[in-house]
Amino acid sequence: MSTKLDVLKHVMVPDHKIMSEAEVSALLSHYKITTEQLPKIFHDDPAVKTIGANVDDVIRIVRMSHTAGMAEAYRLVIKRPKK
């Protein structure tokens, strides 16, 4: 039995998925934005590390919302700047 913690299984960690290139371009054209205008997430975020996303990937996060039940958010993986 492995003792390694899978953060994705924790109740409070929402669902993280790497988006395909086609999905990303659809997202960008829907909002008429560049990847720079997306919210960011650091590459060393535990959830990002677990799903194996790399810098410049876009991640879809589906989480519980008080107002909408389920809400989707998209984040661009970036390198954590040092200090």
Partner 1 sequence: MPSPKRIGRIEFGLLSPKEIREMSVRKIIWADTYDDDGFPYPQGLMDLNLGVIDPGLRCKTCDQKASECPGHFGHIELAKPVIHVGYTRLIRKLLRVTCRACGRVLLSPDEIEKVVGTEDDQTGDLLSEKDVKKERICPHCGDQQLKINFEKPTTFSEVMVEDGKKVEHKLTPADIRARMEKIPNEDLIPLGINPDVARPEWTILTVLPVPPVTMRPSIILENGQRSEDDLTHKLVDIIRINQRFKENQDAGAPQLIIEDLWELLQYHVTTYLDNEVAGCPPARHRSGRPLKTLSQRLKGKDGRFRGSLSGKRVNFSSRTVISPDPNLSVSQVGVPRAVANEMTIPVRVTIHNIDELRQVVRNGPLRPDVNAPCGANYVLRPDNRRLRLADGNLDTIADMIEPGYTVERQLRDGDVVLFNRQPSLHRMSIMAHRVKVMEGKTFRLNPAVCPPYNADFDGDEMNMHVPQTEEARAEATILLSVHENILSPRFGGPIIGGIHDHVSGIFMLTHGIRWFTKEEALYLLRYTHVEHMPPPGKEEDGIQYWSNKQVFSMILPDQLNMVFRASSCQNCDTCEKEMCERDAYVRIIDGILEVGTIDKKAIGAFDGQIVNRTIRHYGMRRAADFIDDLTKLSIRAIMFDGFSFGIDDEDLSKTEYGQIDEVLNNVASDVTRRIKIYEDGQLEPMPGRTVEETLEMQIMQVLGKARDLTGQIAGRHLGLGNSAVVMAVSGARGSMLNLTQMAGCIGQQSVRGERIVRGYDDRTLPHFRKGDRGSDAHGFIAHSYKGGLNPTEFFFHAIGGREGLVDTAVRTSQSGYLQRRLINALQDLKVAYDGTVRSTGGRIIQFQYGEDSTDPTKSAFGDPVDVKGIVESIIKEEV
Quickly count: other Cβ atoms within 10 Å of residue 31's Cβ: 11
Which region among 1-9, 12-20, 44-52, 72-80 touches partner 1 (by CB under 8 A)? 72-80
DSSP run (H or E) holding 68 = none
Residues 58 and 19 sit within 8 Å (Cβ to Cβ): yes
Contact 46, 5 (CB under 8 A): no
CB 61 within 8 A of CB 72: yes
Residue 81 within binding range of partner 1, rule CB under 8 A: yes
Taking CB under 8 A as the binding criterion, the range among 1-9, 16-24, 45-53, 70-78 that sits at the site for partner 1 is 70-78
Among 57, 59, 74, 77, binds partner 1 (CB under 8 A): 74
Stretch that binds partner 1, among 7-15, 18-26, 51-59, 71-79 (CB under 8 A): 71-79
**Residue 8 phi, psi (nearest 5):** -65, -20
Per-residue string for binding with partner 1, 10-49, x by CB under 8 A? ---------------------xxx--xxxx----------
